[in-house]
């Protein structure tokens, strides 16, 4: 019974293990990392899908901020030269 319970828990928590492994592999500069667990079929894979959406929004915000900063830096340098 213990073995069967341990197997069931490991199988149920497999998406969490995959998400943790993928997240630890991403670098601080990589804005393209996603969990990509496929279509949600339980609560944990649904969490992965929600986190993927959150990562996409954060990535778009960071890219927009970087673009704005680069444009501002260019505008500030142009009059000085």
Q: What distance in Å separates the CA atoms of residue 35 and residue 25, rounded to the nearest whole number?
A: 11
> Which pTM does this prediction carry?
0.68
pLDDT at 54: 93
Can you give the residue range of the structural domain that contains 16?
A: 2-80
pLDDT at 3: 92
The whole-angstrom distance between residue 75's C-alpha and the CA centroid of its chain comes to: 33
Domain total for the chain?
A: 1
Give the pLDDT confidence of 21-55 residue by residue, as tens digits.
888 888 767 788 888 888 888 888 899 899 999 99
**Residue 19 neighbours by CB distance under 10 Å:** 19
């Amino acid at each position: 019974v213990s073995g069967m319970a341990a197997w069931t828990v490991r199988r149920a928590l497999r998406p969490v293990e995959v998400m943790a492994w993928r997240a630890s592999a991403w670098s601080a500069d990589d804005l393209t990392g996603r969990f990509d667990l496929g279509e949600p079929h339980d609560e944990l894979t649904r969490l992965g899908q929600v986190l993927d959406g959150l990562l996409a929004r954060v990535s778009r915000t960071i890219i927009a901020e970087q673009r704005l900063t680069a444009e501002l830096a260019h505008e500030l340098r142009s009059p000085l030269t």
